[in-house]
Structure 1
Amino acid sequence: MIQYEQFTLDNGLRVFVHEDATTPLAAVNILYNVGSRDEDPGRTGFAHLFEHLMFGGSQHIPSYDEPLQRVGGENNAFTSPDITNYYITLPAANLETAFWLESDRMLSLSFDPQVLEVQRKVVIEEFKQRYLNQPYGDVWLKLRPLAYQQHPYQWATIGKDISHIENATLDDVRSFFFRYYLPNNAVLVVAGNVTVEEVKQLCARWFAPIPAGAPYVRQLPQEAVQHEARKLETSAKVPLNALYKAWHMPGRFEPNFQTTDLLSDMLGRSKSSRLYQQLLRDNPLFSNIGAYITSSLDPGLLVVQGTLNEGISLEEADAAVESVIQEFIDQAVPDEELTKVKNQAEATLAFSEVELLNRAMNLAYAANAGDPELVNQEAAHIQAVTPDDVQQMARQVLRPENCSTLYYRVA
């Protein structure tokens, strides 16, 4: 259970405080309500580019890292299709340094043309290294637009095309910043050896003077229900043929999300999962195989992926996966199998909350989704899932017409 208190500044910044006097540290997590799903289809990759630009200096602070390092702090950030998240951990005695740094870059980025050029090159190189120049790296550049045909989840966080970043201008950057990087489009979580009163005073000094901007009202095209199976084949110089299958599933805080998550665990989370036992141990068609979910805020994907052993055709491997899936649809789910994955899920949840920073991030994510108390309801939702629930979701999600399949062949 994550205890917290909350308040909202006049400029719309929502602030959450999680007090923990057992640690000498503080975590400052600021989540901006913008991800790759919010981008213009002709200018993708901007949310991720901004993650880099935000470390390039702000109005009064030319170097972000140096003052933080001097007070024993660390920082990082990440971008997802749904959010952009920045975080700092530092000794609680030096908490104000984090407020100074984060408020200054919220107030105004430097918009230095040289910084844009440097970070543009960094992102382009990342695009090449991670997506274009490594085996199977372009899978999500192909699988996302296959599975999503209306929703902007159809492009990866890095962007649709490298040219979108290559052609980004300073005007594009300014427009993006002043639309999304606003106090009324952010959630601030301060956790650790802090007090609510201390955080209120620091917010009044550093964040309250920042003016609010126009409210961002998200109006995204929603993905229609998929009524026909989709298939794509591609090839490249990869070591082995690979199979990818994706089914649409509920969003992160929608009903039946936990049920589908547990379903994916039973399918392919560990060596005791059905896919591993049947298609790697007993009948070794695959050299590796697993299942996972994307955990998107909007309806996401349940994914099965694996690389095949030599001499096994993609058609044979695909049919074998479909056979394992059909068992879920046709046969009752054993209580002991569900109990095992429930215990694994709860253990993962408990361990994740040991870390102070994880607590801060989880609270920010739930608050941004609309209800901070969602962060404390996960375990109860997991325990409430029944074997019948799992079988019902298998029948609803794992329908052949709800599936997008990618065959990745050795060139």
Structure 2
Amino acid sequence: MDNFRIQYINSDSDGSEHRYTQADATQTDLEKDPLIIREENAELISEIADLCTRPDINNPEVLLLLGSVGVGKSAIVNTIIKAITGKHFPKAKVGRGLVASTTLAFEWFENCGIENYDLEGMHNEAFSKCLNKLPNIIDVPGMDDFNSSNIRELLEAVLEGYIPPGTSVKSLQKLQEVYGVGCIKNIYPKRREEWAVTRVVFVASAVEFPPTSLVKMVRSLLESYDQATGYFKYNIDLFVVITKCDLVDRIDTSETTSRLFSIAGAMEQSSTRWQSYVDGRCLDDPSIDNIALKFVKKMMQPRRKRFRVEADKIPVLTPQKRLVLKLTWALNLMDAEQKCMVFIMVLLSLNYFVLVMLSDPVKTADLKDLHKSQK
């Protein structure tokens, strides 16, 4: 999957996190004096505000959080809100991860779920004029490890920006049951650029087997390309988050992740840890804010440019060329007798078509009228 930028972020069940990137902080960052970390956080806030004013940003980035139930997606949202506002606003409902449902509900957090009245002090000074450019976040409740055609259609419609924010996904699934898979784009035929996903954040647990089928579905969607143009269908960056790393004796998520996403050796690894804002155990920790702010900064970096699939690897074929190739392939598999039979069947079909046209009373009447008019 060379067409993706991949980031690895490992967090413990209590919020402790290992982040594997080249640019992010190392373990020594957490040993800094809290005042030093707060100063760095102030710089990060300023840098994020600068990214909001990038001239190439017409619409906010749209992040789609995907993963199994109970991996901590909602906690990620709440931690981002705390880091940007300076206050703990648990706007995303955090579940206990006991029950998984195949009924999706896409929860939309516009501009990270932050309102102007949430901002105070330096946070208000930094973001009051550019709040509308902070990323929008779509939090997908935890899913079982499945790869069904109806869920694939819903995710595809969300990725492309067809489904409006606040739409009841349960009602869409009922429509799929009545009218079949493929009806969604008939219901919402117009795509909106501001709804289209720009980053997929895949969240997985270190203490559970990775959701293989779900990963394959996401990969299949993001690797799809337009046969007519050769361009990849989606200009989307993929990020991987690994949680609950403290519950395993030896953490080595890179091998599993590399195998699932086919990115072995894609990037070097460095690490950092944090404690999430969960269960009210900690409501102000500059180290947690530091990691969350770096994550938001990373999400707002310029994306890669859209490019073609290499022509020598995947040729662009029109429907006509595909038909000719398939017919040629089928004929090459036939022996002489079978080819002769096909030739005879084609001739008989043409003769039948001619007879039908000549015996059509409407056509015959039209010919007679034409003959009379010529006289």
- Tell whether the structures are fold-level matches, with TM greater than 0.5: no
Sort the TM-score into its range (normalised by shorter chain): under 0.3
Output the TM-score relative to the length of structure 2: 0.24
Q: Which has the higher strand share?
A: 1
Task: Tell me the TM-score normalized by structure 1.
Answer: 0.23
Structure with max Cα Rg: 2
- Higher relative contact order structure (alpha carbons within 8 Å, sequence separation ≥ 6): 2
